[in-house]
Amino acid sequence: MQSKTVQVLLIEDDEVDAEGVRRAFDKKHIANPLMVVQDGVEALAVLRGEQGFQKLHRPFMILLDLNLPRMNGIEFLQQLRADANLKDSIVFVLTTSADTEDKKAAYDYNVAGYLVKANVGEEFLSVTELLDCFWRLVEFP
Amino acid sequence: MNQRSTSDCTTHRLLGRAAVLAMDAIVIQDTEGIILTLNDSACRLYGYSEQEAVGMPFDNLLSSQHRQQWQQIRDSLHVNHMAGPILDSRIRRDGTHIQVRVTATLIPAQGDDPSVVCTIERSDAAQTGSQQALDAARAGLAQSQADLDDFAYVASHDLRAPLRGIRNLSQWITEDAAGVLPEQSARHLDQLIGRIDRMERLLDDLLQFSRAGRERHPVEIVDVNDMITEVLSLIDRPEGMTLEIPDNMPALRTGRVPLQQVWMNLISNAVKHHDHNDGRIMITWRPAQAASNRYVEFAVADDGPGVEPRYREKIFQMFQTLRPRDQVEGSGMGLAIVRRLVQGRGGKLWYEPAHPRGSVFRFTWPWDTAKTHQTEVIAHAVENRTSTVD
């Protein structure tokens, strides 16, 4: 068991999709703190405690959309893995892109899982369940 | 005297003008071989300006071994008046050689005008040029086709994201405000979600349509009888509706997915648009009647209401349906997709009325897709394209 609650950083520029994640958390009574940022640049600032953001403390988990403004998901992964303090971060990709190239690129940067969000509804609830199980059972860095 | 006849003078002026505009090179020289005049095509072909060419010996356009031969031709014209067509070569101003087909005529002396020799010369290179233009146009057509496919793909893919948002939002409103909403607003929300479903189907079909053009499938032996049995198991039909299929259906070498899509669309159309629950659907085949024996012709016939003559071309266009969308499920893309799949393999799809009532959809499909020549596919696509333009 984690000694501290896992915080979730959601990197998602579509506020309806972000709301969808929030609602799914509520439905499954997941109380873990959820922070939403809109792109890779903002996410790195939060993870490093730069630009006036308070640094996100461990344990945390990242939910990453790939199609983002300024710094897209793959570029973000590249920066993340190159940063000595952040390279061990646990990242799940949550995207509409079933593109095989995107998938390969994401796994090349050692993501924990690549989840395609089809219609959010019921399917998304099972994704939420998976994440809930994950941080219950898995020891975080 | 005929009122419409023009004066000789006008005739000469008009013919002169026509000669200037002609595609073939026209050169007029005197009997000594000095160029008197030439048209624009001749200037272009040989690379001389008019000023340079007039007064120049015709021999300048000939290689030394041809000059003797041309003097003989000029001399022979006094007897025969005409020579050619002769395959000959010319030297252009820049020294390059070109092949030409030449006819030479002697225009006899008249009054003060001495006799002259007129040659009409057509370059093979000009034909090569038009072949190149045709190839370029064909490549351009293929390119714009590919662009259109890409556009359809991107559009159908990218339109899906905001639509998903709209679906979620309306579902959430339904969930959160179920007890609070006035009955009318609740109904409007239901209708809203229904429209979203329809839009998603349209996008799916648009995507399928674009894939019908782009995707290549592995070729395998396909037993058409097995394929139709499989398709039938996927289609809901009224219990009384019968499907007749001959027991000697052929096997083809083809990609499985596209042919299955064709059968799926045609058979489900026949079921969906039938006005009786005890309708009959009949499938038949025969070797294609066209000159080529590489194709087999299939038909899906029904005894339903048929299609009125004025709609028989329209049904093959994108997004066309003949009944309100609330009555019959469908995006109006089915036949457009089928036509594209069929044409992509050099085949054809067409409609015939059935007797005493009903529709017959016929299509041709290659016995062996791997042996279909790309040129045939292009030729058919061009032919069909022109025939479907309004």
pLDDT score for A91: 94
Residues in chain B with CB shorter than 8 Å from the CB of A19 are: 168, 172
Preferred mutation among B168, B173, B196 to probe A, highest tally of A CBs within 10 A: B168
| B372 pLDDT higher than 70 | no
Q: Flag if A119 and B160 touch (Cβ within 8 Å).
A: no
Rank B109-113, B192-196, B312-316 by mean pLDDT and report only the highest: B192-196
| B326 pLDDT higher than 60 | no
The DSSP letter of residue B211 is H
Q: What is the pLDDT along chain A (141 residues), one digit of tens a residue?
A: 456 788 999 999 888 888 888 888 888 888 889 999 998 889 999 999 888 888 888 889 999 988 888 888 889 999 999 999 999 999 999 887 766 778 888 899 989 888 887 655 566 777 888 888 888 888 888
Q: How far apart are the first and last CA of chain B?
A: 46
Q: Flag if A17 and B160 touch (Cβ within 8 Å).
A: no
| B310 pLDDT higher than 50 | yes
pLDDT score for B205: 77
pLDDT score for A62: 93
The residue that leads in pLDDT, B68 or B154, is: B68
Residues in chain A with CB shorter than 8 Å from the CB of B165 are: 14, 16-17
pLDDT score for B381: 43
Q: Flag if A20 and B168 touch (Cβ within 8 Å).
A: yes
d(C-alpha B309, C-alpha B317), whole Å: 15
Q: Flag if A120 and B169 touch (Cβ within 8 Å).
A: no
Closest-CA residue to B117 (of B58, B67, B60, B61): B58
Residue in B closest to A17 by C-alpha: B165
* pLDDT tens, residue by residue, B199-230: 888 787 777 777 776 667 788 899 999 999 98
DSSP string, B89-107: EEE-TTS-EEEEEEEEEEE
Residues in chain B with CB shorter than 8 Å from the CB of A96 are: 160-161, 164
pLDDT score for B6: 59
User: Which one of B161, B169, B171 has the shortest CB-CB distance to A121?
Assistant: B171
| B376 pLDDT higher than 90 | no
Q: Flag if A19 and B172 touch (Cβ within 8 Å).
A: yes
How many inter-chain contacts (A to B, CB under 8 Å) are there?
Answer: 20
Residues in chain B with CB shorter than 8 Å from the CB of A120 are: 164, 168
pLDDT score for A37: 92
Does residue A96 sit at the B interface (CB-CB below 8 Å)?
yes
Q: Flag if A120 and B168 touch (Cβ within 8 Å).
A: yes
| Strand pairing class (B219-223; B251-255) | antiparallel
Q: Flag if A23 and B169 touch (Cβ within 8 Å).
A: no
Q: Flag if B161 and A96 touch (Cβ within 8 Å).
A: yes
B241 to chain A, closest Cα gap in Å: 35
Q: Which of B31-40, B78-87, B360-369 has the lowest mean pLDDT?
A: B78-87
pLDDT score for B385: 39
The residue that leads in pLDDT, B38 or B10, is: B38
User: Which one of B160, B164, B172 has the shortest CB-CB distance to A23?
Assistant: B172
pLDDT score for B200: 82
Q: Flag if A121 and B168 touch (Cβ within 8 Å).
A: yes
Q: How far is CA B359 from CA B22, B244, B320, B327, in A?
A: 52, 15, 17, 20
Q: Which of A73-82, B191-200, B373-382 has the lowest mean pLDDT?
A: B373-382
Residue in B closest to A98 by C-alpha: B157
Q: Flag if B165 and A23 touch (Cβ within 8 Å).
A: no
Q: How far is CA B167 from CA A36, A61, B71, B326, in A?
A: 21, 28, 87, 19
Task: Name the pLDDT band for B360 (thresholds 50, 70, 90).
Answer: very high
Helix residue ranges, H only, chain B: 8-21, 40-46, 50-53, 64-80, 124-158, 160-177, 183-214, 224-234, 256-272, 334-343, 374-388
Backbone angles phi and psi of A98, in degrees to 5: -95, 15
> Biggest alpha carbon distance in chain A?
38
Q: What is the ipTM of this complex?
A: 0.71
Residues in chain A with CB shorter than 8 Å from the CB of B169 are: 16
pLDDT score for B280: 92
| B1 pLDDT higher than 60 | no
Sign of the torsion formed by the C-alpha atoms of B52, B53, B55 and B56: positive
The residue that leads in pLDDT, A92 or B21, is: A92
Residues of B in CB contact (< 8 Å) with A are 160-161, 164-165, 167-169, 171-172
Residues in chain B with CB shorter than 8 Å from the CB of A23 are: 172
pLDDT score for B290: 64
pLDDT score for B386: 36
pLDDT score for B301: 93
A123 to chain B, closest Cα gap in Å: 12
**Mean pLDDT across B350-370:** 89
Task: Name the pLDDT band for B375 (thresholds 50, 70, 90).
Answer: very low
Preferred mutation among A12, A14, A16, A102 to probe B, highest tally of B CBs within 10 A: A16
pLDDT score for B115: 85
Q: How far is CA A93 from CA A66, A113, A115, in A?
A: 7, 6, 6
pTM value is: 0.50
**Mean pLDDT across B10-21:** 80
Does residue A120 sit at the B interface (CB-CB below 8 Å)?
yes
The one-letter amino acid at B308: E
pLDDT score for B127: 62
* pLDDT tens, residue by residue, B228-276: 998 888 888 888 889 999 988 999 988 888 898 899 999 988 998 888 8
| B383 pLDDT higher than 50 | no
